[in-house]
Amino acid sequence: MHIDQFREYCLSKKGVTEGFPFDEVTLVFKVMNKMFALASLDAIPPKVSLKCEPERAIELREQFDGRVIPGYHLNKQHWNTIFMEQIPAKLLLELTDHSYELIVASLPKKVQQTLSELL
């Protein structure tokens, strides 16, 4: 999957914004101001970091050895860095959804309610 397609997919989700809070090459996607995805725009091959349940993170790292690795500069228990072109696009979208859903579930109930009311 190309980074432009990944960007469009993330932005299609409810309550998502994008920005460059760290530097000019790390695109960060947030839902209700909480980060759920980071994309390295200058990385070759392209890579993205996504939040993941710890047990599933380990399983993915074992299944996709070298293509899914512990999160780069992130909590390695909860984040994976994924080489985008080296896993199936369908799986990348599924993992993006999973990351988004984990963040939404961690939001305060009032913020979740605000998110649900967005168009």
Beta strands (DSSP E) in 1-119 are 16-19, 26-31, 34-40, 47-51, 68-70, 79-83
Q: What is the pLDDT of residue 72?
A: 82
Which positions ≥6 away from 64 have C-beta within 8 Å? 82, 86, 87
Q: What is the pTM of this model?
A: 0.94
User: Could you list the mean pLDDT of each consecutive 10-residue stretch along the chain, which spans 119 residues?
Assistant: 93 97 96 96 94 96 95 91 94 97 96 90
| Distance between CA atoms of residues 79 and 103, nearest Å | 12
What residue spans define the domains of the chain?
A: 3-117
Which neighbouring-strand residues pair with 51? 79
Q: What is the pLDDT of residue 14?
A: 95
Q: What is the pLDDT of residue 119?
A: 67
Fold annotation for 3-117: Aspartate Aminotransferase, domain 1 (3.90.1150)
DSSP for 96-114 reads: HHHHHHHHHHHS-HHHHHH
Q: What is the pLDDT of residue 1?
A: 82
